[in-house]
Amino acid sequence: MGSLDESVQQAIFDFASHVETHGFKGLKGRNKSSAIPNPHTKRQRANFKHAQKNCLWHYHIGLPEYVEQANGEFTSEMILHYIRYDDTIVLVDVATHPPFNLPSNEKLNY
């Protein structure tokens, strides 16, 4: 993680530490599957298949800041992409959102 800004490194560490200690309960930022429900366009369907096949999720890490949404969830411009298995996560990428782009297959080779 040496090439990432210190605040990004800290946010990633905080997420991983929280999940290791408490699981996914109590995370401040929005945490959700990257397979959007009801994909309508060809691109959305391709993204849905990619996200579902690779168990992709994303978490809003609070950078540059959290913004509370009308539904009470907290989002941020920066998100952490990860693969979520039952008891294991694999951190994959950090990106800005919008736009929402899934990690490429190259980034999923771990």
pLDDT in tens, 42-82: 999 999 999 999 999 999 999 999 999 999 999 999 999 99
> At 2, is the pLDDT very low, low, confident or very high (cuts 50, 70, 90)?
low
pLDDT at 84 over 60: yes
Measuring CA to CA, how many Å separate 79 from each of 40, 41, 64, 85, 97?
Answer: 24, 23, 10, 19, 7
Domain at 6-100, CATH class: alpha beta
pLDDT at 110 over 70: no
- Whether pTM exceeds 0.85: yes
Q: For the chain, which residues make up each domain, given as ranges? A: 6-100
